Amino acid sequence: MAKQYLSGGGNPFGVTPAPSVFNPNPPDDLISRQGEPAIWIRAIPKIGEVDETKMAIPGSESQLYRIERYRRMPTETLNPIFYDGNIVQTKYGPISKIRSLKVFRNDDFGGNFNLSIESFEHNRIKLKPNIEFQEYYQLDCDYDIESFTKFENVPFIQEEDGYLLHPVQEDIIVIVDSVWRERLDKSGYDEIGFKYDFTKISCETVAEAGRRYLLNYVTFSPIKIGYKTIDTKDARLAEKMIDVQSGDIDIVVGSGLNISKDDILIPLRTLRTEKEILEKDKKGRYPVKYSPLREIVAVYTDSIEYEDFWIEDSRYVRINSSTLPERIVCVYQYNPRYSIMPDTTASALAERIQPRKYIGRINQTRLDLGRIFRESIYRSVATE
């Protein structure tokens, strides 16, 4: 899933398996609208012990993990409703690269041709003038988007009394650099302490609704997937030549995603609950076995039940106490992770590449997802 700028123009006659003027690629559109958001982590074979690329931390002895900074979208037929002179708009953004902008025209009128681009920003593309282009021609755009979006000094107004800020809807928060709150006399802003997780920023002090803030943070746009669990009645379990186990999942992703073996997918709306004894690390944190950690339900010792606790870096439990016990019992919820198996299915229909099908298996590798996000955002990119 990318940031969606445009809506509307959908098919009022329902989803069909064949493209139409209302819906040029129905399966991709269905996944985009109704699929579950998920984090896609690319697994890369480790080159050797001396590796200075610093793409991400090792998840095991043989793998490095990174998150793609740029993601190719399925080829989109642009909607002429949103044309404005020489400005056209894609449904998703922010655009990082345009691979092609192709006009389809009857051979009797000269055949297909490509448009030249003057500039692009967010989801808007400014075309170079071309007298051959007419708005009623079919215009297909093959483009990439940015997975991460950085916001600097973005104004935000607190919606409810309290200490919680919700600056995102569909994307997830991966880094918060600073939070500035307007003074009561409106003479300026003061930097305040905060904590954050995927969906919210928690200020250290409460404020009333309507209070103004300046936020500096980075968000990530998840992909969309469809999936279902393979149960014990699945006929593939009896096939000796097929590596399928009960509890694996069938996964369907959009046609533009080049997912490969050993990559990890994390569905973000699926939650599982775990009870675990956690040990304190050198920084006073309590790392959990299963991550990303989404919610802390309860924290106990043999004699104390803690009420002031929070999540750090999607992997650690923090508690507010003058003395920190060496071990705690924590009940928490997390998103399950699945590794992609080699088996995959590709297909095409009506001259369109269709969504791809994979098998996913539960993955329990200990991953520092917060660090993977940071190093995926800030790693060096080779240039000529």
pLDDT for position 292? 93
First to last CA, the chain: 31
Encoded tokens for 358:
């994979």
Question: How many whole angstroms separate alpha carbon 72 and alpha carbon 172?
Answer: 19
Question: How many whole angstroms separate alpha carbon 330 and alpha carbon 277?
Answer: 6
Half-sphere exposure of 183 (CA within 13 A, CB side): 6
pLDDT above 60 for 33: yes
Secondary structure (3-state) at 285 = coil
Q: Which residue has the higher pLDDT, 139 or 347?
A: 139
Encoded tokens for 29:
């559109």
Question: How many whole angstroms separate alpha carbon 311 and alpha carbon 193?
Answer: 15
pLDDT grade for 62, boundaries at 50, 70 and 90: low
pLDDT for position 246? 65
Percent of the chain at pLDDT > 90 equals: 49
Question: How many whole angstroms separate alpha carbon 336 and alpha carbon 328?
Answer: 22
Half-sphere exposure of 133 (CA within 13 A, CB side): 22
CA 47 from chain center: how many Å?
Answer: 27
Lowest mean pLDDT among 51-60, 87-96, 209-218: 51-60
Average pLDDT over residues 79-93: 87
Lowest mean pLDDT among 55-69, 88-102, 273-287, 357-371: 55-69
String of DSSP letters for 344-364: EE--EETTEEPPEEEEEEE--
Per residue in 325-362, pLDDT tens? 999 999 999 999 999 987 556 555 545 556 788 888 88
Q: Which residue has the higher pLDDT, 69 or 57?
A: 69
pLDDT for position 257? 81
Per residue in 243-272, pLDDT tens? 666 678 888 888 778 888 889 999 999 999
C-beta of residue 250 within 8 angstroms of C-beta of residue 341: no
Whole-number mean pLDDT of the chain? 83
Average pLDDT over residues 205-224: 94
pLDDT above 70 for 50: no
Q: Cβ atoms within 10 A of the Cβ of 328, count?
A: 22
pTM score of the predicted model? 0.80
pLDDT above 90 for 49: no
Query: 236, 237, 328: which is closest to 285 by C-alpha?
Result: 328
Per residue in 96-109, pLDDT tens? 999 999 999 888 88
Half-sphere exposure of 351 (CA within 13 A, CB side): 3
pLDDT above 60 for 370: yes
Per residue in 298-331, pLDDT tens? 999 999 999 999 999 899 999 999 999 999 999 9
Distances (CA, A) of 325 to 97, 277, 313, 319: 51, 12, 21, 10
Distances (CA, A) of 84 to 80, 124, 135: 9, 10, 10
pLDDT for position 54? 46
pLDDT above 50 for 383: no
As to burial, measured by CB atoms within 10 angstroms (0-12 exposed, 13-18 middle, 19+ buried), residue 367 is buried
Range ranked top by mean pLDDT from 23-27, 182-186, 231-235: 182-186
Average pLDDT over residues 161-185: 94
pLDDT for position 236? 64
